[in-house]
Amino acid sequence: MELTKEQRIEMYWMMLLARRLDERAWVLHRQGKIAFHISGIGQEAAQVGAAFALNRGEDWVTPYYRDLALMICLGYTPREFVLSLMGKQGEPSSGGRQMPSHWSLRRANAVSHSAPVATQACHAAGIALAMKMQKKDQVVLTTIGEGSTSQGEWYEAVNWAAVHQLPVIFLVENNQYAISVPQEKQMAVRSSADKACGLGLEGLTVDGTDPYKVYEVVARAAEKARSGNGPTVIEARMYRITPHSSDDDDRTYRSREEVEEHKQRDPILVVRSRLEQEGLLTPEQVEGMEARAREMVDDAVQFATQAPYPNVEEGTYPVYAEEVRHD
Amino acid sequence: MTEMTLIEAIRQAMDEEMARDPNVFIVGEDVGIRGGVFRATVGLFDKYGADRVIDSPLAELSIVGVGIGAALYGMKPICEIQFSDFIYPAYNQIISEAAKMCYRSNGEWTVPMVIRAPYGGGIGGGLYHSQSPEAMFAQVPGLKVVIPSNPYDAKGLLKSAVRDPNPVIFFEPKKGYRLIKGEVPEGEFTVPIGPARISRAGTDVSVFAYGMMHYYALQAAEKVAAEGISVEVVDLRTLYPVDRETILASVQRTGKALIVHEANLTGGYGAEVAATIAEGAFTDLDAPVRRLCGPDVPGVPFSHPLQDWFMPNPEKISSAIRELARY
């Protein structure tokens, strides 16, 4: 369970790649090259920490729309992401049917999700119920924003998992805002993990800007789930550095000073300086990573720009499973 | 051949499908030790155990949401909604998730599940134990909507629904659970989802109905036959996708169409049947299309005379047929 030096460096790399990809999406939007972007900037540490605690490819994930870094850890490629940003053919989440960042990656057991929030939590409970019925050694990670834990869907899912002692990890990425509404208008508890005790399961709060702490907590929850001891709610605390989406203007509801203050504690910077201080990374190595990320992002943009759009005929199917085309 | 009631046929279908496929399981309120409030699952808990006949928490959205999750994992849930009146908390999961999963993931994910729900009035159930919400589902691509009218179809269609790779909403006419009896052959058979059925051939008027109203339509047809009116009765059986061919062929034979359902008139399923006829058989019509439906009030009232006023019945159907025949 102890992370190796290589793993810790790999985790930083995943955070960095997701960040640079996310930043490029904003640029593409400002250039008028894509219609929409919803960002995960500031949330990469928790996502990468959680992903590394899973048996990736075996365990299942029902994600939510800010999980770019999580998806990258599951093998979603930069090319695939930019295809989805541009609504191009071959985009694996939906073939250009869904808006960007509405993930699905069958080959990684990452389930398709929608835009009405919290629906994926029930799916996680159902998947875990099926795992339990089939006596599989797997767990489900489901992620959500803190605002969406206000939905009845989330409570019902957590309750189900608690009643049936299902192998689910409910990870709440508390980025402190649901579009414009701050946490104190969502809940009267200090952490959404506190809601867990009312439903009879363990709830933990962790610093979501520290990928290694998140890893530890999620790995423990996964081990507990695998040994038949049921679900855990984990709140990872972080800050949404960008506006809600490319259509939002966060100046209408929070001060620039507040955002600046959090930018100083940007997990990308913090983890980097920590790894440098511990002698795991040199500035040159970091520069090498940056160059590699730039290259991959450039390649992805070029690839997706040249890729064709779906044929209009593709919009007609597959409404039913009988119409699925395997090509 | 064995004579059995509608509900016995439904129970037998579930029993046989559970015996055939270990992935089939039942989940709902009181479906376990109680055997369902209508006794649809009686005996199955003892036969298949608590793991496959699951008493859910009293929360409809997660009955469906958890079912969807299990289906995504490869299980085959039969979700029971105790009364169709209580299906609305699950509407988000049905419409946003189950119905759209295949299309939105470009076929990467499918949701093979059945949602059973008793529907319909005339049983003293008042506003919240009498509803017929089929039209709200029979306009949703990705769903299949089935309503059987007799034990043979109930068994054959439910078996098809369990084997279908898509979400199937299976509304059961609860007033007919024990009232409607019929011959059901021994041994394996299914009834395909999709085609309507001409249950009585005739030449003067076509009556389109399903579920309990089909049962009444047959009685009305018999009654007016004595007066020399030859009625063709079409049991629509599958409401979605729509079997337009059978509808149009019948109108082409008779030139007159009456549509009967107990759901509200406006925006009801009859509107789709009427539009189908207007578009495809306009020149065959010898009279305006007629709809006999529940009135546009919010629900079936409880008090007996009020309930009788609301509900279509064989007498009201006979009158409507006579009027059409005279036109």
Average pLDDT, chain B: 98
Task: Give the distance, in angstroms, between the CA of residue A283 and the centroid of all CA atoms in the same chain.
Answer: 28
Who among B57, B74, B142 is closest to A319 (CB)? B142
Sorted by sequence, the CB contacts under 8 Å of residue B63 that are 6+ apart come out as B27, B28, B29, B56, B79, B80, B81, B90
Domain with CATH 3.40.50.920 in chain B: 197-326
- CA B143 to chain A, closest CA, distance in angstroms equals 8
Task: Give the distance, in angstroms, between the CA of residue A28 and the centroid of all CA atoms in the same chain.
Answer: 21
- A122·B71 Cβ contact <8 A: no
Please say if the pLDDT value at position A1 is more than 80. no
pLDDT band for position A327 (cuts 50, 70, 90): low
Would you say domain A5-308 falls under CATH 3.40.50.970? yes
- A122·B112 Cβ contact <8 A: no
Please say if the pLDDT value at position B182 is more than 80. yes
B163 — contact with chain A (CB < 8 Å)?
no
Which residue in chain A has the smallest CA separation from B107?
Answer: A324
Please say if the pLDDT value at position B37 is more than 90. yes
- Which pLDDT belongs to residue B141? 98
CA distances from A30 to A34, A295, B229, B284 (A): 8, 21, 71, 58
**A contacts of B77 (beta carbons < 8 Å):** 126
Residue from A253, A254, A274, A292 carrying the catalytic annotation: A253
Please say if the pLDDT value at position B266 is more than 80. yes
Pairing of strands B257-264, B238-240: unpaired
- Which pLDDT belongs to residue B223? 98
- Listed by start position, the domains of chain A span 5-308
- A253 is a catalytic site residue: yes
- CA B260 to chain A, closest CA, distance in angstroms equals 29
Please say if the pLDDT value at position A326 is more than 80. no
- Which pLDDT belongs to residue B297? 98
CA distances from A196 to A149, B103, B286 (A): 11, 34, 66
Q: Residue B77's beta-bridge partner residues?
A: B25
Sorted by sequence, the CB contacts under 8 Å of residue B5 that are 6+ apart come out as B151, B177, B178, B179, B180, B181
A130 — contact with chain B (CB < 8 Å)?
yes
Element (H, E) at B113: strand B113-119
Give the mean pLDDT of B66-85.
98
Who among A122, A152, A320 is closest to B142 (CB)? A320
A28-50 burial, b at 16+ Cβ within 10 Å, e below that, comes to bbeeeebeebbbbbbbbbbbbbb
Neighbouring C-alpha atoms within 13 Å toward the C-beta of A185: 6
- B97·A318 Cβ contact <8 A: no
- CA A109 to chain B, closest CA, distance in angstroms equals 9
Instruction: Locate all alpha helices (DSSP H) within A164-265, ordered by sequence.
Output: 194-199, 211-226, 256-264
CA–CA separation, B181 and A277 (whole Å): 80
pLDDT in tens, A239-289: 999 999 999 999 999 999 999 999 999 999 999 999 999 999 999 999 999
B140 — contact with chain A (CB < 8 Å)?
no
Who among B66, B103, B112 is closest to A97 (CB)? B103
Q: Residue B113's beta-bridge partner residues?
A: B167
Closest by CA position to A41, among listed A245, A276, A288, A216: A245
ipTM score here? 0.97
Output the DSSP codes for B173-199.
Answer: EGGGTTT-EEEE-SS-----SS--EEE
CA–CA separation, A59 and A67 (whole Å): 16
- Which pLDDT belongs to residue B1? 87
A vs B: CB pairs below 8 A: 140
Q: Which residue has the tokens 């992002």?
A: A297
CA–CA separation, B185 and B208 (whole Å): 26
State both tokens at B29.
């309120």
CB proximity under 8 Å: A 53-92 to B: 60, 62, 92
A198 — contact with chain B (CB < 8 Å)?
no
Would you say domain B197-326 falls under CATH 3.40.190.10? no
Sorted by sequence, the CB contacts under 8 Å of residue B245 that are 6+ apart come out as none
**A contacts of B101 (beta carbons < 8 Å):** 112
Q: Residue B235's beta-bridge partner residues?
A: B197, B209
B142 — contact with chain A (CB < 8 Å)?
yes
Domain with CATH 3.40.50.970 in chain B: 2-184
**B contacts of A116 (beta carbons < 8 Å):** 92, 96
Sorted by sequence, the CB contacts under 8 Å of residue A284 that are 6+ apart come out as none
- A129·B66 Cβ contact <8 A: yes
Are A101 and B43 in contact by the 8 Å Cβ rule? The answer is: no
Give the mean pLDDT of B310-324.
98
- Which pLDDT belongs to residue B34? 97
Residue type, B162: V
- Which pLDDT belongs to residue A320? 98
The dihedral through the CA atoms of A54, A56, A59, A65 has a sign that is: positive
pLDDT band for position B256 (cuts 50, 70, 90): very high
CA–CA separation, A229 and B10 (whole Å): 37
- Identify the CATH class of B2-184: alpha beta
Give the mean pLDDT of B109-120.
98
CB proximity under 8 Å: B 36-75 to A: 51-52, 56-57, 59, 61-62, 64-75
A318: cis peptide before it, omega within 30°?
Answer: yes
Give the mean pLDDT of A183-199.
96
- CA B213 to chain A, closest CA, distance in angstroms equals 29
- Which pLDDT belongs to residue B52? 98
pLDDT in tens, B6-27: 999 999 999 999 999 999 999 9
Output the DSSP codes for A97-162.
Answer: -SPTT---BGGGTBPP--SSTTHHHHHHHHHHHHHHHTT-S--EEEEEETGGGGSHHHHHHHHHHH
Give the mean pLDDT of B147-153.
98
Please say if the pLDDT value at position A106 is more than 80. yes
A157 — contact with chain B (CB < 8 Å)?
yes
State both tokens at B276.
């189908």
Are B196 and B161 in contact by the 8 Å Cβ rule? The answer is: no
Interface test with A, best of B27, B62, B114 (most A CBs within 10 A): B62
Which residue in chain B has the smallest CA separation from A94?
Answer: B105
Who among A116, A156, A325 is closest to B107 (CB)? A325
